Amino acid sequence: MIERARVPSLTFLLDEHVNRRCLKILRAAGVDVAHVTAVGLSGVDDPVVFRWAQREGRIIVTRNYRDFVPLAQALASRGEHFPGVLFYPTSIRHSDVDGHASALLAWIRAAVAAGENPVANGYGWLSAGQ
């Protein structure tokens, strides 16, 4: 289990572009994670997903760089706080459930070790093969 006591705001929302099957692995590791399909956001516009995650204090995890970067940049330019956005690289296939889970778990371990959320009010990339 991952100890997040030093970084309590590390909760996540997986976008539709992320394989839902990795939820089981992440939850077994103690990660507070939800999927858009489970919270009633399936098929809604990305700005709605972004605002929901912002209200709930959840970092968005997605493969959808094209739509979520402009949303993150717009909020940051207005000085609005949001938990951040993490992007999966294209090298992690949508069907690679273990790859999705391991990349996010590696990022969480690094954030906990640093004692901060490195994507707060911005965005970053997950790494494959960690």
Place of tokens 């330019």: 77
pLDDT single digits (tens) 24-35: 999 999 999 999
pLDDT single digits (tens) 1-55: 555 544 556 999 999 989 999 999 999 999 999 999 999 999 999 999 999 999 9
Q: What is the pTM of this model?
A: 0.92
Give me the DSSP letters along 46-66: HHHHHHHHHHHTEEEEES-HH
Residues 6+ positions from 37 with CB-CB distance below 8 Å = 16, 20
- Domain 11-125 - what CATH class? alpha beta
Domain ranges of the chain: 11-125
